[in-house]
Amino acid sequence: MPNRAQQIFEPRFRFGLGGVSLGNEFNKHTDKEAESTLEAAWEVGVRYFDVAPWYGFGLAERRFGRLLHTKNRGEYLLSSKVGKLFKASKNNRHAEIYPLSDSPNDVVFDYTADGVRRSIEDSLQRLGVDSLDIAFVHDISPDFAFFPNGWEEQYETARKGAFPALSKMRDEGMIRAWGIGVNTPLPILKVMEDADPDVCLCARQYSLVDHASAVHELFPAVRKRDISLVIGSSLNAGFISGSSRYNYGKENFKIPAEAIQKREKLRAVAARYGVDLRTAALQFSAAADVAVALLAGARSAQQIEEDWNSLQAKIPPPFWDDLKSEGLIEAGASVPVL
């Protein structure tokens, strides 16, 4: 029997548009640019959308909602995040935390049972829709820099509050599934022991450049517990496709030398086969046997169209063989098949 997440992520929902870019994480985009990107995503066939209150301090949800509230709710899959509440404040911290968002909001971290219910209600209002399919508990992870008292304390609050509350909401039909959305594997390993999630968002952990830990530690545990993963940031925030940043955070311009070296080696193999490296990276992340969906961010109509087309492209099997023989991808990693 397929697990709950596998049942939800039928083939038309296997590729999704993530909301980080349109929350003005990396660059400032106008509402008109965001509308064009979202409309293009819908036109090419994207039917899974992932947002979060955190992205632009409410900005991404409002922008996605302008498109989604006009569509039949049964035609698309929608996930958002919980754990952060936003209130309008004249003394807000958006300039410090999300400077390009122009948000009037301030953030309150709340991983209690009441807090996650409030978070979902607030998201539905910003989005202009009546339900979420999936709720991811957001950023309870060692890499998140803004908790006042450390991620472990927030995780413990979620273990006692958010996790059982979300299981209850799922059983009541308020959401269809839940999990956590994080950038490091440790919290996913922990939540599988502490609760009964259906699907987790594995961001920044499974890319062509960085995937060994996922293959050898995270994926075996996920298979054992029959949990599914949504894979995000397969391009390491654009690094694989040529960006001058690597992943997220204020110091993402400090790119590790080993990442640059590996990208150059990957480019050399791709050049031998005439393969677009961005296309290969997207297909690699989507091919993981535990993955039910791939999320990609996009800042423009052209970018989401290119991402969609990349997933339809054919890559010769010897390309993947060479990557394995040269030690550029792990021997145990799944690769696309024609």
Give catalytic residues, as residue numbers: 50, 55, 81
**C-alpha span between 335 and 338 (Å, rounded):** 10
3-state percent helix, strand, coil for the chain, nearest multiple of 5: 45, 15, 40
Phi, psi of 330, rounded to the nearest 5 degrees: -65, 145
Phi, psi of 314, rounded to the nearest 5 degrees: -100, 130
Query: Which of 302, 329, 304 has the alpha carbon at shortest distance from 294?
Result: 304
Give CA 90 to chain center in angstroms.
Answer: 31
Long-range CB contact pairs, 266-269, < 8 A, 24+ = 266/208, 266/209, 266/240, 266/323, 266/328, 269/319, 269/322, 269/323, 269/326, 269/328
Angle, alpha carbons 94-49-101 (nearest 5°): 15
What is the full DSSP assignment across 52-93? -TTTTTTHHHHHHHHHHTTS-GGG-EEEEEESEEEEE-TT--
Residue 49 forms beta bridges with which residues?
17, 78
**C-alpha span between 26 and 268 (Å, rounded):** 28
Give Cβ neighbours of residue 319 (< 8 Å, ≥ 6 apart): 269, 270, 273, 275, 280
